[in-house]
Amino acid sequence: MSRPEILILDYGSGNLRSAQRALERVGAIVTVSSDFDEAMGAQALVLPGVGAFEACMAGIRGVRGDVIIDRRLAGGLPVLGICVGMQVLFERGVEHGTECEGLGEWPGVVEPLDAPILPHMGWNTISVPSGSRILEGLEGERFYFVHSYAVTRWELTENDPSRRAPIVSWANHGVDFVAAVENGPLVATQFHPEKSGDAGLSLLEAWLGTIR
């Protein structure tokens, strides 16, 4: 079986090498690049994200990442968002009273968690619905989170019964928030699978299995 070829989009965000190493451990050939043509031609694309929503969006637009992601998804080509790389897939983010437009792949707002301790940093379990392709068998496992903002209301409803509705997993830190979404070729996690030990590696391996 051939090894899947993955491109991690380099738009100035941190944490690229840990994601690269984790994907390589589960069998992928990984390139880190900001090149438009390489990103468009990759078998699958990873959109990482560390830091502020607005800064990440500026970096993504700076390498035409918004165009890359939109065109890839229009063609059914896999994209995996991680942490802020998941958050920017929603319509907008609100940080320190400032709103910033996101990529708009899903309706919803990224906003501060209403929790007694922030950031939400460390290990947490998630609630996994039936039908998950990336989290099957990982129910009850703990994943590593580090964030102060999240989406607490899932606003997308699927009115076409012929299409598969997105699979949304949840976690709780003060309030319930979206922990992962599986929506056809677009998959995203609020937690860091590359920092989540064996459970995270199992998730990445399962994701690779969906694109082979």
- Residues annotated as part of the active site: 83, 192, 194
State the Cα–Cα distance between residues 106 and 91, nearest whole angstrom. 6
User: Length of the chain, please?
Assistant: 212
**Residue 188 dihedral angles phi and psi, to the nearest 5°:** -150, 150
What lies within 8 Å, CB to CB, of 8 at 6+ separation is: 16, 19, 20, 23, 30, 31, 32, 33, 45, 46, 48
Torsion of CA 94, 100, 104, 105, to 10 degrees: -60
